[in-house]
């Protein structure tokens, strides 16, 4: 358990804090006139280092932080309590953290449904290359709304399609996240290896090396907030080995390290990608990434399905993170990532929805279940993952790979108050005694309350900051407009 910020002898929030990292508020801030929210009579899965759980406990939130939590009722003498929540019948967990997504795909769902990755990409690139700012904004709102209503409190978008003259796509995505009220990482993607250079995307769908690097740097400088309570962060994120030049990977890594931000890309997703890397670069994806500066504790990779023992050891040695996307990997017949082996080796692993053109549900809470089920189809069988490990992947593991484990990902005093109250007393879950098992293995649980930095985002399964029905209409209209434009060629 991290020390309480109210303890003047222990001003730092987390035992892992480094001298250069932003510190949590001093004792004065928490003790003084900050408004408090008290949640009581609630089962709590903290997902802290010891997997501490309380069958019936309380949480005290002061401003945007968790002030205290524990078994039984909250202290009776708390000042400035502006809200009391009776959590009877609920499970409180850290908010879910999504680590890989492509928001724009919300308006190209349900297409190319029986393809592997490369065929699916080739089928969809010509449509994707027609997106504009209005479409991107609507799709981002749809993606964010779907995740937030299902308990996501930190979202990310790996956006890598920037057609010429399409407007301020990055700005529109960041605006959509701010409006929804969730914490957000924009991974500014890019592609510069088109068909003429042996890549997969058509020539008209890519940027130049110089253009991509300059636009990425501008996005970081304009939007990245390094502070403890940041709502928006930016990562450098060239798309994949088969759509990006070696030089863009190399210079992208240098750029990220110069600017002090994280690096993200796709890697080791399919056997076709592995073959591509061997043919073009004379080595497998992990060796290729290492040769371009793309292994390190500031890197997280989407998928990492086709990893041999040496690849996993290299990720563990360098603390390179992985965004595990079980539904998308199944939809595109990519394979089963070796998550139990990665965890045993010490690789940080989070969960990802992936783009909704390869995971139409767009929900992260179902990925907890799918991560457990799909990994049990692998060689470790019933020992592959348990329910608590699955919950950890979707919360603390996600915070780790986004570089935010000091601030979010577990319920501990001093951390940001990003949490979810799941309703577990209805037909779907009431007969399951263990609430964590019910959450992970049962049907998707309704969200009674979700908080991001102490601010409510969902109440009684409804989004508070945006109009879900209006978003549904806008995304339908933009999907139809994109389909019409794409059909004209």
Per CB under 5 A, residues contacting Zn ion are 302, 354
Q: How far apart are CA 157 and CA 288, in angstroms?
A: 24
Q: In what order do the strands lie in the sheet with 349-351?
A: 96-97, 152-159, 183-190, 232-238, 263-267, 299-303, 321-324, 349-351
Q: Is 38 or 325 the residue whose CB approaches Zn ion more closely?
A: 325
Q: Is 154 or 410 the residue whose CB approaches Zn ion more closely?
A: 154
Q: Are strands 53-62 and 90-94 parallel, antiparallel or unpaired?
A: unpaired
Three-state DSSP class for residue 81 = strand
Three-state DSSP class for residue 61 = strand
Q: Is 202 left (phi over 0), alpha (psi -120 to 50) or beta?
A: beta
Q: How far apart are CA 457 and CA 33, in angstroms?
A: 23
Burial 90-118 (b: 16+ CB within 10 A, else e): bbbbbbbbbbbbbbbbbbbbeebeebebb
Q: How far apart are CA 110 and CA 80, in angstroms?
A: 50
Helices 246-259 & 209-223 angle (0-180, nearest 10)? 20
| Least distance CB 160 / Zn ion (angstroms) | 9
Q: Is 58 or 306 the residue whose CB approaches Zn ion more closely?
A: 306
| Least distance CB 412 / Zn ion (angstroms) | 31
The 3-state secondary structure of 50-72, one letter per residue:
CCCEEEEEEEEEECCEEEEEEEC
Q: Is 90 or 306 the residue whose CB approaches Zn ion more closely?
A: 306
Is the dihedral angle over the CA atoms 450, 455, 457, 459 positive or is it negative? positive
Three-state DSSP class for residue 249 = helix
| Least distance CB 158 / Zn ion (angstroms) | 6
Q: Is 273 or 354 the residue whose CB approaches Zn ion more closely?
A: 354
| Least distance CB 237 / Zn ion (angstroms) | 10
Q: Could you tell me if 112 and 365 are in contact, meaning their C-beta atoms sit under 8 angstroms apart?
A: no
Give phi and psi for 336, each to the nearest 5. -110, 115
Residue 102 half-sphere exposure toward CB, CA atoms < 13 A: 28
| Least distance CB 157 / Zn ion (angstroms) | 10
Q: What is the DSSP letter of 444?
A: P
| Least distance CB 187 / Zn ion (angstroms) | 10
| Least distance CB 292 / Zn ion (angstroms) | 19
Q: Is 238 or 453 the residue whose CB approaches Zn ion more closely?
A: 238
| Least distance CB 426 / Zn ion (angstroms) | 34
Q: Is 219 or 240 the residue whose CB approaches Zn ion more closely?
A: 240
Identify each DSSP E strand in 107-260 by its residue range. 152-159, 183-190, 232-238
| Least distance CB 342 / Zn ion (angstroms) | 18
| Least distance CB 273 / Zn ion (angstroms) | 12
Q: Is 302 or 449 the residue whose CB approaches Zn ion more closely?
A: 302
CA distances from 127 to 2, 371, 418 (A): 49, 30, 36
Q: Is 178 or 330 the residue whose CB approaches Zn ion more closely?
A: 330
Largest pairwise CA distance in the chain: 70
| Least distance CB 283 / Zn ion (angstroms) | 22
Nearest-CB residue for Zn ion: 354
Q: Is 303 or 369 the residue whose CB approaches Zn ion more closely?
A: 303
Q: Could you tell me if 171 and 142 are in contact, meaning their C-beta atoms sit under 8 angstroms apart?
A: no
Q: Is 302 or 436 the residue whose CB approaches Zn ion more closely?
A: 302
Q: Is 262 or 423 the residue whose CB approaches Zn ion more closely?
A: 262
Q: Does an H or E element contain 351, and which?
A: strand 349-351
| Least distance CB 323 / Zn ion (angstroms) | 8
Q: Could you tell me if 183 and 153 are in contact, meaning their C-beta atoms sit under 8 angstroms apart?
A: yes
């Amino acid at each position: 358990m991290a020390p309480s910020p109210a303890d003047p002898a222990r001003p730092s929030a987390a035992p892992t804090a480094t001298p250069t990292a932003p510190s949590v508020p001093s004792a004065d801030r928490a003790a003084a006139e900050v408004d408090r929210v008290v949640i009581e009579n609630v089962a709590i899965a903290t997902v802290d280092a010891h997997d501490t759980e309380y069958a019936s406990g309380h949480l005290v939130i002061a401003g945007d932080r968790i002030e205290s939590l524990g078994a039984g009722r909250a202290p009776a003498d708390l000042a400035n309590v502006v809200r009391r929540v009776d959590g009877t019948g609920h499970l409180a967990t850290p908010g879910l953290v999504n680590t890989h997504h492509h928001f724009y795909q919300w308006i190209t769902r349900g297409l190319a449904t029986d393809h592997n990755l490369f065929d699916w990409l080739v089928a969809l690139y010509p449509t994707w290359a027609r997106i504009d700012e209005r479409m991107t904004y609507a799709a981002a709102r749809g993606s964010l709304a779907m995740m937030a209503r299902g308990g996501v409190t930190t979202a990310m978008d790996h956006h890598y399609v920037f057609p010429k003259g399409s407007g301020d796509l990055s700005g529109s995505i960041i605006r959509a996240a701010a409006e929804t009220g969730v914490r957000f990482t924009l991974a500014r993607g890019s592609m510069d290896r088109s068909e003429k250079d042996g890549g997969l995307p058509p020539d008209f769908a890519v940027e130049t090396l110089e253009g991509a690097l300059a636009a990425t740097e501008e996005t970081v400088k304009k939007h990245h907030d390094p502070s403890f309570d940041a709502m928006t962060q930016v990562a450098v994120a060239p798309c994949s080995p088969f759509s990006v030049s070696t030089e863009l990977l190399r210079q992208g890594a240098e750029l990220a390290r110069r600017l002090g931000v994280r690096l993200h890309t796709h890697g080791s997703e399919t056997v076709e990608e592995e073959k591509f890397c061997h043919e073009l670069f004379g080595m497998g994806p992990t060796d290729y990434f290492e040769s371009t500066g793309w292994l390190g504790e500031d890197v997280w990779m989407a998928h990492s399905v086709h990893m041999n023992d040496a690849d996993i050891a290299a990720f563990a040695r360098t603390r390179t993170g992985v965004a595990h996307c079980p539904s998308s990997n199944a939809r595109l017949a990519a394979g089963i990532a070796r998550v139990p082996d990665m965890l045993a080796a010490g690789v940080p692993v989070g969960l990802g929805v992936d783009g909704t053109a390869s995971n139409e549900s767009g929900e992260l809470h179902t990925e907890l279940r799918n991560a457990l089920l799909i990994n049990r189809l692998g060689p470790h069988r019933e020992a592959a993952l348990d329910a608590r490990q699955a919950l950890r992947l979707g919360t603390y593991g996600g915070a780790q790979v986004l570089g935010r484990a000091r601030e979010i990902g577990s319920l501990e005093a001093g951390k940001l108050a990003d949490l979810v109250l799941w309703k577990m007393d209805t037909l779907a879950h009431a007969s399951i005694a263990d609430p964590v098992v019910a959450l992970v293995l049962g049907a998707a649980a309704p969200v009674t309350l979700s908080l991001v930095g102490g601010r409510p985002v969902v109440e009684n399964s409804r989004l508070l900051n945006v109009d879900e029905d209006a978003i549904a209409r806008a995304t339908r209209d933009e999907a139809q407009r994109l389909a019409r434009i794409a059909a004209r060629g």
